[in-house]
Structure 1
Amino acid sequence: MSRWHRLFPERVFDRGEIYYGNDMVENIQLAQDQEHFTAQVQGGMGRSYTVTGSLRLDGRA
């Protein structure tokens, strides 16, 4: 995961760290395939949204 930050633009990664550090990321779920995930994010202005993605053993997202 040390290369995780390289997968996103700096602004997006920094904002994600802030959201996570402020407990704004909830309901993180990893699918049975251990590759796909979803999470709920409490964004600005009280808006909630879903984030989805894939993690791969070779380090790609």
Structure 2
Amino acid sequence: MPSAVVITGSWRKSSFSGDENCVTVAPSIQGAAVIDSKHGESDVLAFTSKAWTGLVQAVGLLH
């Protein structure tokens, strides 16, 4: 059974989200949590701090 994601701050819409593709991010005890803003009742995707940093850096390299 997956562990619960404990949110430690406010949810924020990603600056890369457009009108159609909305991603919302919040800090968590584990690192970061991500949800699809249009489907807020959907599951939370949890990242460790190390994994989140790696993802953000990789996305930055694409732009």
TM-score > 0.5 by shorter chain: no
Which structure's residues are more often strand, by fraction? Answer: 1
TM-score by length of 1: 0.33
TM-score between both structures, scaled by the size of structure 2: 0.32
Higher helix fraction (1 or 2): 1
